[in-house]
Amino acid sequence: MQEMIVELFKSYMHIALVLSIIINIVISILGLVPSVFLTAANLAVFGLWEGIAVSFAGESLGAAIAFILYRKGFRRLKNMRGFSHPKVQKLLKADGKEAFLFIIALRILPFMPSGLVTFAASIGSVTFLTFFIASTLGKIPAILIESLSVYQIINMEWEWKIISILTASIVIIYVSKKIGMSESTILKRDKL
């Protein structure tokens, strides 16, 4: 996917910046599509610091537009039975300073699905301005961490890429098995 976007940007270099921001907005609206491949394309085409700036602008604008669209389309969902859990209700009712700090904390996590944070905030009580400022401030370290990680991977020798992929695969398998064990323990306990 990254290579396809890099080729698109190179073919239309005069509007590559606008294309990147539009793609980022679409990713934000879709909600669960990771943006790491777009970040990698931005770094490959625009360079390190310009790529970070383009990714940051696209993600900030995308989050704002997604928030507005989600709020218009999904606000009525907060009264559904699935949202009746006390912790979910606390998140939905958070506003002001509490919501501001909560959104920043969630945005700082670089691989936290942005769409999930945007969705929860949009159906809750948080104002657009609070969401936008908190989201944007939280995205600064998140984009830096993600971009620098991707930049290092892009520029490492192929041997290190293989080692990184193998290590990541082992960690994913290990965590998946642990989660599976935890779920089976919970299910066994629930049956008792």
User: For the chain, what percent of residues have pLDDT higher than 70?
Assistant: 81
Cβ contacts of 11 within 8 Å, gap of 6 or more: none
Looking at residue 192, its pLDDT comes to: 56
b vs e for 112-122, b when ≥16 Cβ sit within 10 Å of the residue's Cβ? Answer: eebbebbbbbb
Looking at residue 85, its pLDDT comes to: 55
**What angle do the packed helices 96-108 and 114-123 form, to 10 degrees?**
170
The mean of the pLDDT values for the chain is 81
Looking at residue 122, its pLDDT comes to: 87
Looking at residue 62, its pLDDT comes to: 94
Copy the structure tokens of residue 158: 């192929």
* Angstrom distance (rounded) from CA 61 to CA 185: 43
Chain segment 10-27, per-residue pLDDT in tens: 999 999 999 999 999 999
Copy the structure tokens of residue 43: 């770094």
Closest CA to 39 of 29, 27, 51: 51
Confidence band, pLDDT 50/70/90 cuts, at residue 72: confident
Cβ contacts of 70 within 8 Å, gap of 6 or more: 118, 119, 122, 123
* Angstrom distance (rounded) from CA 64 to CA 105: 17
Chain segment 108-135, per-residue pLDDT in tens: 875 667 788 888 888 888 889 999 999 9
pLDDT at 169 over 60: yes
